[in-house]
Amino acid sequence: MTYEVIVEWFVLQVEVTHCENIPPCFNAWNSDWDFYGSRELEFKVLSGNTYDNDGVRMSVTSEELRVFAKQYAKQIETALWVEIDAQQRRSRWAA
């Protein structure tokens, strides 16, 4: 699934290639993985835009995007989890 996230001064189109979101099961005592749950996320940054001081939109080159994605991987992952969690909350309310 593709998400649009904002990290620092970039607006990024990010494709989530793998998402594991297992909620905790507080009644499970056989493993701490079951008790605490687990969350894993793999993603690929597809494209990005930024804005200059005058508000003019500029596309990010593939080389800049690759460097930015590596440097800010943790922030991108956090922004993706915020979007994924919000989407799950919206789907629960819609049902």
Question: What is the pTM assigned to this prediction?
Answer: 0.84
Q: Extract the tokens encoding 38.
A: 């687990």
Write out the chain's pLDDT in tens, 95 residues.
Answer: 999 999 988 999 999 999 998 888 888 777 666 778 889 999 999 999 999 889 899 999 999 999 999 999 999 999 999 999 999 888 888 76
| Residue 7 contacts residue 41 (beta carbons within 8 Å) | no
- Nearest CA-CA partner of 33 in 43, 46, 24: 24
Distance in angstroms (rounded) separating the CA atoms of residues 11 and 68: 12
